[in-house]
Amino acid sequence: MKNLPDKSCACGIAGLMLIYFTFQSCSTFNRVYSENDIVYSSKRFELKYYVKDRDRRSPLYYFTQSIIKEINPQDEISYYAYDVLSLSGSSCKLDEKVFLLIDNEAYPMAVDKIELENVRSISENTGNISTSDSTSVSVVTGYSEDNRKIARFRYKIPAATMAKIKESDKFLLRYYSGPSMITVKPKNKSIRMIKQLINTTI
């Protein structure tokens, strides 16, 4: 006799898939958005992507970058990058430097603004205990503290450098934090979207 499929399992998988595709469709990452800036009479395009670092030796938890492409009335194109790095609380101060690594060649960026912030969060640890009438009650057993550092960089990317990214096979970003060399590796999809942003004109 053949075993019938577990309907509850099938429904659970279907539910998870629905949540996944809903999240993907609603996500603002890895998409190029456009709008008109009536103040400066320019056309703006924005791309935002993120990278989660899984290297245990790295103080980086996650990274996000927003790239703004502006086309002014004279059809001059400018690119601006806004980088956000979430770092462990014990990490050293970040150097005020950003390097784009394009096909193993380093391009230093002129950082025009950097913001550093210490973030502290406290969460409760809970557990269940049994009372005299055998009911279960949730109680606070302690507290956990999480300390992180947030660094924000802003800089202009020369159009010639963006042209090199467009033709590149490899693109990375590099930061330095004391003894730590932080290398951000955008996913292939994010790199494809950066190249799409460069090609976008309408």
| pLDDT tens, residue by residue, 83-104 | 999 999 889 999 999 999 999 9
The reply to whether 179 falls in a domain is: no
* Residue appearing with tokens 């330095």: 176
Q: What is the rounded CA–CA span in Å between residue 92 and residue 114?
A: 15
Beta strands in the chain (DSSP E): 32-37, 42-52, 60-71, 77-88, 98-102, 105-109, 111-130, 136-157, 171-177, 180-184
Range of lowest pLDDT (3-17, 89-103, 105-119): 3-17
The reply to whether 50 falls in a domain is: yes
Domain count across the chain: 1
Mean pLDDT, the chain, whole residue set: 84
If you ran DSSP here, which 8-state letter would residue 28 be given?
A: -
Q: What is the rounded CA–CA span in Å between residue 13 and residue 169?
A: 37
The reply to whether 182 falls in a domain is: no
The model's pTM is 0.75
The reply to whether 167 falls in a domain is: no
The parent domain of residue 62 ranges over: 25-91+111-122+144-158+187-199
- Whole-number pLDDT of residue 19: 43
The reply to whether 136 falls in a domain is: no
The reply to whether 30 falls in a domain is: yes
The reply to whether 173 falls in a domain is: no
The more confident residue out of 28 and 142 is 28
Residue 24, classified by CB atoms within 10 Å of its CB into exposed (0-12), middle (13-18) or buried (19+), is: exposed
Q: Is 191 left (phi over 0), alpha (psi -120 to 50) or beta?
A: alpha
Q: What is the pLDDT of residues 21-61, one digit of tens each?
A: 344 445 689 999 999 999 999 999 999 999 997 778 899 99
- Whole-number pLDDT of residue 16: 42
- DSSP assignment of 69-87 equals EEE-TT--EEEEEEEEEEE
Q: Which three-class secondary structure state does DSSP give residue 116?
A: strand
